[in-house]
Every structure is written in C-alpha cells, then in structure tokens.
Amino acid sequence: MSQKIVAVKGMNDLLPGEIEIWQHVERLTRELFGRFGYSEIRTPIVEDTSLFVRSVGEETDIVGKEMYTFDDKAGRSLSLRPEGTAPAARAYIEHSVLNQEPLTRWYYMGPMFRYERMKTGRYRQFYQIGAEAYGAKEAAQDVEVMDMVTQFLQALGLQDITLNLNSLGDEACRPAYYEKLVEYLKAHREELCGDCHRRLETNPLRVLDCKNEACQAVAAKGPSVLEFLCEPCRDHFDDVQRKLTALGVRFVVNPRMVRGLDYYTRTVFEFVASHPALGTASTVGGGGRYDKLVKSLGGPDVPAVGFACGVDRLVLLLKESQQKFAATPDLFIAVADADSQDAAFTLASRLRREGLRVDFDTRGGSLRSQMKRSDKSGAAFTLVLGGQEFTSGQAKLKRMAGGEPIPVALDDIARTVRAQSGAPQVAPAAT
C-alpha cells in the first residue's frame, strides 16, 4: 500500500464549511475598499529575491530566516513573496503608474509564504489583505488608510480591537534616536537574546520588535522615539492624531512599536485584538508610511502609505463570533420515481438559470435518502417531483422550517420561492 501524501506542514486546506467565511471577508473587502476609491491588483506569487532584500531589509528575520528562496532553471534567485507591499511597489514602478495618475490607491489579497515557527494564527502559507496609496505625503492619507481598516473590522463585526499608533521619524531625526538607543541597549547587552546581539550591530530597531520576554523588558525602559522627532515629523504625527480624533477613530500611542520591516518612516500602526482565540498572535493588521521605498527600488521619489491584515487571524475571530456564513440552497429537488429523474434534472438546470441555488442529488436513490440530504443541506424549501407533478404541471413546496406545503406551478417555482423567502427577484441568465 502506497504511503499517504498529506499537505505541506503549515500550509492548510480550506474546505466548504470554512471557506464561506473567507469568501465573506473577500466580498466585504471589495465592497468597502471600493467605497474609498481603491482598485484591486494581483501580483505574481514569485518575485526576484533582490526585491525583498532591498525593500524588507537584509537583516530582518523575514529575509534572513523565513523566505522560501530557490534558483530556477536559468539560475535566477527567486522567492515566494513573504509580504505584499514590495511586489505592489515593484508593479507601480514597472508599469510607470505615476505617469498615468498622480494619486494611486490599490488593494490586494492572496497567499504569502514564510518559513516561521508555527502557532495559532501563524502559518507558513498565510493570507493577507492589504492596500497601498501612492502619491500623498499628507497625514490625511495615513488617516484614510487607518479609517478604512477600522471600518472594515467593524463591518466584519469584530470587537475589542485596539489601534496602536507611533511615529518612527525620518532620516533627519532618526539618527539621533539610533545613537541614544544603541547606547542604552549596549549597556543592557547581557540581558538580550543572541539574535538581539546580532540585531544590535546591524539594525537596533529590530531589538524593539523581538518577541523574547527579556528583550521586551529591556526595550520597555529604553528611550522613546517620540522624544527625538524633528519638527516636521512631530507636526505630521500631531496631525495624524487630530484627524483620527475628528473621525472618531480611537487609538493609543505606543512609542515602543516599530513594526518588523525596514522600509517604514514616520507613521506606523497596528490593530491588536484581545481575544484568546489568537493566543500570542494578537496583531490582526498593521502598516505605516514608507516614503522612500519606491525610490529605493529604482522608481520615482513618491511618498506612500499602506497596511496588511492577516486573513487567517480574522477568520479565527469570526469563527468565535457565532455569525453564520454558509450559503444554503434555496431549494432541494427530490425525485419520487426513477422515470422522473431526467425531467427533474432539466428543471433544476432551468431554475439555476433563473437565479435559484438548487441542490439535486444526481445519484437518485430512495426518496427517504434524498430527504435526508435535503435536511443536511439546509435548503429553505424542498420540492418532491414525480410523474403526477410533471403531468399536472403542479407541485407543493415544503418549507423546511415547518408550516403548510405551498401549491406552486412548475413554471412559477423561482418567483414563488423568492416571494416566500423575501429574496429579491433576479433576471434569468442568458441562454
């Protein structure tokens, strides 16, 4: 007997019963982000490795430890994308989008890949929804993005999610903070983990992002970046806070938050959930401003701001919310005798063209077994058809929630089902 093949560890199947939650999140994304004027893009899953080395940062854990990188048959180093901002920026540059429109708003959704230590809500193939806005340096653009995420999470019905806000300054004021931070961290070097010893030499901000409890305790007592902001960065951060307050978007200033990628400048933010279903993976989304990323990748000097949400974590929260997402059939057609199977099959096809969700057991079988399937499907109505019904052109709709059967003409089934369920009328599909 051959060995059973299973999915790659950390890369999960999404099956009916759960996929409906994902589809709900995706539908809401398209509808709500469209209100804000964002258009969908789709970038390749595989990119040139140098894209992530130059954008995310060579010293980050993502590039140093977590990327799925390989040489293709032409000897090129390629990587499965670990995040979505760098590919979007690459597409923005490659297609000369700046020459087409001065302000560009995009969103994306799809799988990302990182070879991480797995835990609840953290997988090696994971899914993100994100958005990028190019061309606006003003605080209003930062706030628009955060407002969009806030409305998105509220529309999903998620509660107890806190917006954490910080500013990392820019190239004018960050060096002074770096100097003071390095001085402080070196004085506490023995309290830091081995990874942070390396980070201290290559990128001190990464120490603040370490998940080691001892390192977090050291970071909590270190200098605050907000004390070093230059006047333009301070004014920008103040303006962000004023505009969030004006919109009624609640937030807390968290001066220890730095995010995990190298390209951020000025505003950074995270949406953090308190639900125990996520365990330690409590951040459901985050982002910030990256005004120098496009230029660093060979493009024009264009400011930008964006975010990404982890769909896997949103789905975990939605599972706990007791909301119902599964789309059940409007109608189940059962066949009373084998001679009526073909006619019932034809009727099911017609009703689907007329816009109904119709379940039909193509295997046939006993009426009893078909009725069991109807119960299991969750159909709103069941229609039992046999020779008598097809001869008379009349049948009876059984409401599965209970109640008297409803007489119906076979030519009027779709309208009757919608009328009884309160669903809107749908134009028939073109034939």
Mean pLDDT by 10 residues, the chain (431 residues): 89 92 96 97 96 79 82 95 95 96 96 86 92 97 98 93 94 88 87 83 78 84 90 97 97 85 86 79 90 94 96 92 84 94 96 95 92 92 94 94 91 93 58 48
Contact call for residues 92 and 120 (beta carbons, < 8 A) = no
Residue 134 annotated as binding site: no
Residue 83 known to bind ligand: yes
Nearest to 268 by CA among 295, 310, 236: 236
413 and 428 in contact (C-beta within 8 Å)? no
Give one word for 310, left, alpha or beta, with left for phi > 0 and alpha for psi -120 to 50. beta
What is the structure's pLDDT at 397? 94
Query: Is residue 66 within 8 Å of residue 57, measured between CB atoms?
Result: no
Task: Tell whether residue 35 is among the known ligand binding residues.
Answer: no
Does 391 count as an annotated binding residue? no
Burial of 7-26, coded b for 16+ CB within 10 Å and e otherwise, reads eeebeeeeeeebeebbebbe
pTM over 0.95, yes/no: no
Q: What is the pLDDT of residue 384?
A: 95
What's the Cα-to-Cα distance from 31 to each of 152, 307, 328, rounded to whole Å? 10, 17, 22
Any residues with CB less than 8 A from the CB of 105 and at least 6 apart, and which? 36, 37, 38, 39, 131, 132, 133, 134
Is 114 marked as a binding-site residue? yes
Name the token pair of 53. 């080395």
Rg (CA), the chain: 28
Q: Are 107 and 84 in contact (CB under 8 A)?
A: no
Compute CA 237 distance to the chain's CA centroid, rounded to the nearest angstrom. Answer: 27
Residue 138 known to bind ligand: no
CA distances from 357 to 330, 340, 380, 381 (A): 5, 21, 10, 11
Q: Which residues pair with 291 in a beta bridge?
A: none
Q: What are phi and psi of 42, to 5 degrees?
A: -135, 120
Residues 6+ apart with CB under 8 A from 149: 271, 285, 307, 309
Question: Is 331-421 a CATH 3.40.50.720 domain?
Answer: no
Q: What is the pLDDT of residue 61?
A: 67
Give the number of other Cβ atoms within 10 Å of residue 234's Cβ: 15
84 is in an annotated binding site: yes
CA neighbor of 85 nearest in space, from 310, 268, 308, 314 = 308
Q: Is the distance from CB of 303 to CB of 273 less than 8 angstroms? A: no
Residue ranges of the chain that CATH labels 3.30.930.10: 19-173+229-320
The DSSP result for 102-167, as a single string, is SSEEEEEEEEEE-----BTTB-SEEEEEEEEEES--SHHHHHHHHHHHHHHHHHTT--SEEEEEEE
Tokens 């004085």 label which residue? 187
The answer for 184, left when phi > 0, alpha when psi is -120 to 50, beta otherwise, is alpha
pLDDT score, position 424: 53
pLDDT at 30: 97
Q: What is the CATH number of domain 19-173+229-320?
A: 3.30.930.10
Q: What span, in angstroms and rounded, lies between the C-alpha atoms of 192 and 125?
A: 30
Contact assessment for residue 27 and residue 152, using Cβ atoms and an 8 Å cutoff: no
From residue 429, how far is each of 350, 351, 352, 354 by CA, in Å?
9, 10, 8, 6
pLDDT at position 47 = 96
**CATH 3.40.50.800: which residues of the chain?**
331-421
